[in-house]
Amino acid sequence: NLANTGLYLFSPEVREAFKESKVQEMINRNRRLDFGYDFIPYLIETGRPVYGYILSGAWYDVGTPERYLEAMKEILSGKLRALQDFGGRISEDVRVWVQGESPESLRRREDIIRKIREGKIEVEGSVLIGRHCEISEGVRLVNSCIDNYTRIGRNAVIEGSAIMDRSIVGDGAEIKNSIIGRHTVINSSITNKTKIVDVSVIADDVIIDAGCELISTKIYPHRHIREQTLYGAIIT
């Protein structure tokens, strides 16, 4: 129970060890060469210097959507000491970042900050907004990450979610505890809202029609989802 994962650093001479007959025999016999189970023990047995070092600090297993979102929230909240600032923090009083570099992205940054200060965008918890984003009035953002070039429509609600770059979220959409991939379009309107909740994962280049309700659902890339309700579905 000492380690869940390992980082290996080898000198160039290790390439010679791969050529040795016993290593080749292990590969042929096991059809693999596992560093932890096979190769490191072999190096020790053959007298090579092998050293271990226990790293301190935070470590995140992001192999599932749930863990990915949990890690995102913890990093945004400041629990990872090595990463406390993402650039563009709007005030020392809040954990909200709006990034910008080029003149146009800085203009959009100022527009978003103005709306936040005027109460036209509601922000709660820790929120990171990337460059060149458009956030409309009435939007509510809670403990979420909005990537570059993303557009969020009027009165949309984003809670505990990650929205990847160049995606479009329509008016009134509700996205809670979910992951939205790149170049994805979430169509929605005030009168026909789309809801994506409960650790749903929408992949890249997906189109979601207005009025969809996706609950704990996984959508693979390049799909077009017509208006419907899906619960626990996997659309490949």
pLDDT at 117 over 90: yes
- Mean pLDDT confidence for 149-162: 99
Please, what is the average pLDDT of the chain?
94
- Mean pLDDT confidence for 120-126: 97
- Mean pLDDT confidence for 103-119: 97
CA distance linking residue 56 with residue 163, whole number of Å = 30
Looking at the chain, which residues constitute the CATH 2.160.10.10 domain(s)? Answer: 96-235
pLDDT at 43 over 70: yes
Which of 31-35, 137-141, 172-176, 220-224 comes out lowest in average pLDDT?
31-35
- Mean pLDDT confidence for 103-120: 97
pLDDT at 46 over 80: yes
- 31 versus 213: the higher-pLDDT residue is 213
CATH superfamily of 96-235: Hexapeptide repeat proteins (2.160.10.10)
Q: In 113-194, at which residue ranges do the beta strands (DSSP E only) sit?
A: 122-129, 134-135, 140-146, 151-152, 157-159, 162-163, 168-169, 174-176, 179-180, 185-186
Please, is 60 exposed, middle or buried when counting C-beta atoms within 10 Å of its C-beta (0-12, 13-18, 19+)? middle
pLDDT in tens, 75-84: 999 888 767 7
- Mean pLDDT confidence for 16-21: 93
- Mean pLDDT confidence for 197-204: 98
pLDDT at 124 over 80: yes
- Mean pLDDT confidence for 16-32: 92
Is the backbone of residue 88 left (phi > 0), alpha (psi -120 to 50) or beta? Answer: left
Cβ count near 234 (within 10 Å): 11
pLDDT for res 81: 74
pTM for this predicted structure: 0.82
- Mean pLDDT confidence for 182-189: 98
pLDDT for res 197: 98
pLDDT for res 88: 93
